[in-house]
Structure 1
Amino acid sequence: MKRGRKPTIDAAAITRAAIAVADAEGLAAVSMARVAQEMGNATMALYRHVKSKDELLTLMGDAAMEEPVPLPDGDWRERLGFWAKAVLKAIGRRPWFLHIPISGPPTGPRSLAWFDSGLRALEGTPLEAGEKVGVVMGLMTFVHGEAKLSSTLVRGHEDNPAAFGRDYGRRLRELVDPRAMPALAEVVAAGVFDLDDLFTAEDAEAEFDFGLHLFLEGVAGHIGGRT
């Protein structure tokens, strides 16, 4: 009985196998040896196409984002807001993406495609090229930060939901000295933290929308100043 031919090894195939491992077992499970096992090849065979695990992680981070969705019709604000939510949704499909170290500006084809899409959302504005880059990179930083915070809170809530209940508000009343932290004491006294559950999916979405609104307001103010 003849054995079937082994699949062709190249950087793209190695990246797909690594993503399959991360999807099933998490990013911590990804190693050159584990990916080689997934592909049914010797570990050294992979190094002919991907030089190191760091390079593999970079390739995974680019491939994990998938292709950007087309921007809708509308003004720059609607388009940029849509882009931000599309980035958040793309990240959410693979939570391990947030744990890939960022070692430099985007260079992968999909990362650059998302970058291009964000810049195109600002077409028709009076912003200079460098300003457009600043807006897109700033918004990307906001989206990544919100996604990572939300992911961390989800895990914390799953491990200890009681920590997100009314006990938190009661603890703050004991810990916060109005003389040392007057602004926080005012918020605590207003009952902001007196909730049965401080973290829900709806709350996370609302907080993202509010943060996005503030970011876009800032960009609109800057554009208004330019015109």
Structure 2
Amino acid sequence: MKRGRKPTIDAADITRAAIAVADAEGLAAVSMARVAQEMGNATMALYRHVKSKDELLTLMGDAAFDEPPPLPDGEWRDKLEVWAKELLKGVRKRPWFLQIPMSGPPTGPRSLAWFDSALGALEGTPLEAGEKVGVVMGLMTFVHGEAWLSVALTKGFEDDPARFSRQYGQRLREIVDPRRMPALAKIVAAGVFDMDDLFDADDVAAEFDFGLHLFLEGVAAHIGGRS
């Protein structure tokens, strides 16, 4: 019995296979050879559709997220709050996304859809076009930074919980010189770090909400000044 021809593949198929590898084994495991193995194809067959690993990573970064969610009716602030929290959820779902090098502004269809969604939330405000872009890019930077921090701290806690105990506060008392770092010394002396568990998932969520509140407060003040 003759074997049938292998079904044709395209860049979308290759991207999905690469994402499956990253989800299971991490971004470091992704290579053209490993993805070809995942698909049951020869490595050179992939290069007919994706020119390099860098191009593959770019495609993966765009396809890592679902389509942006529908935003609620109402004020721009409520819309951006939902947008930011959904973006954070997407990054946490695939933390390897944070390891993909960023070589330029977004050009992929999924990334541009998220960009458009956030810009649309600012419709009806007195902000100029460039200001809207600045707000969205600033919010995106905040979300990505918070996601990176939470992922890194989660891994650090899993690897060595003792580093997040009250030992940290004790260590700071030994190394923080009040003459050189007076503000930090006051915080240490106040006992802020004297806790048995400095890492808590609920605290991470609360800190994100507080940071998002401050960011949106700043945008609201700027809009108030413009109007």
What's the C-alpha RMSD, in Å, of the aligned pairs?
0.9
Which digits, 9 at most, give the CA deviation of each residue in 1:27-53, with x for residues without a partner?
101000111111111111111110000
Which digits, 9 at most, give the CA deviation of each residue in 1:108-146, with x for residues without a partner?
000000000010111111001100000000000000011
CA–CA distance in 2 between the matches of 1:137 and 1:127?
14
Q: For 2:9, give the aligned amino acid.
A: I
CA–CA distance in 2 between the matches of 1:7 and 1:111?
29
Structure 1 position 13, deviation (Å): 0.5
Q: Does residue 1:115 correspond to 2:120, yes or no? A: no
Q: Residue in 2 aligned with 1:93?
A: 93
Which digits, 9 at most, give the CA deviation of each residue in 1:73-96, with x for residues without a partner?
120111111100010011111111
Q: Residue in 1 aligned with 2:82?
A: 82
Q: Does residue 1:189 correspond to 2:186, yes or no? A: no
CA–CA distance in 2 between the matches of 1:180 and 1:92?
37
Identity %: 82
Which digits, 9 at most, give the CA deviation of each residue in 1:8-40, with x for residues without a partner?
211000101111111111110100011111111
Q: Residue in 2 aligned with 1:9?
A: 9
Q: Does residue 1:140 correspond to 2:108, yes or no? A: no
Q: Residue in 2 aligned with 1:39?
A: 39
CA–CA distance in 1 between the matches of 2:136 and 2:5?
46
Structure 1 position 56, deviation (Å): 0.2
Q: Residue in 1 aligned with 2:26?
A: 26
Q: Does residue 1:158 correspond to 2:158, yes or no? A: yes
Q: Residue in 2 aligned with 1:62?
A: 62
CA–CA distance in 2 between the matches of 1:26 and 1:224?
45
CA–CA distance in 1 between the matches of 2:116 and 2:5?
40
CA–CA distance in 1 between the matches of 2:159 and 2:222?
42
CA–CA distance in 1 between the matches of 2:6 and 2:68?
32
Give the TM-score normalised by the residue count of structure 1: 0.98
Q: Residue in 1 aligned with 2:179?
A: 179
For structure 2, the residue ranges without an aligned partner over 5 or more in a row are none
Structure 1 position 63, deviation (Å): 0.4
Residues 4 and 199 of structure 1: CA distance in aligned 2, closer, same or farther (over 3 Å): farther
Q: Does residue 1:104 correspond to 2:104, yes or no? A: yes
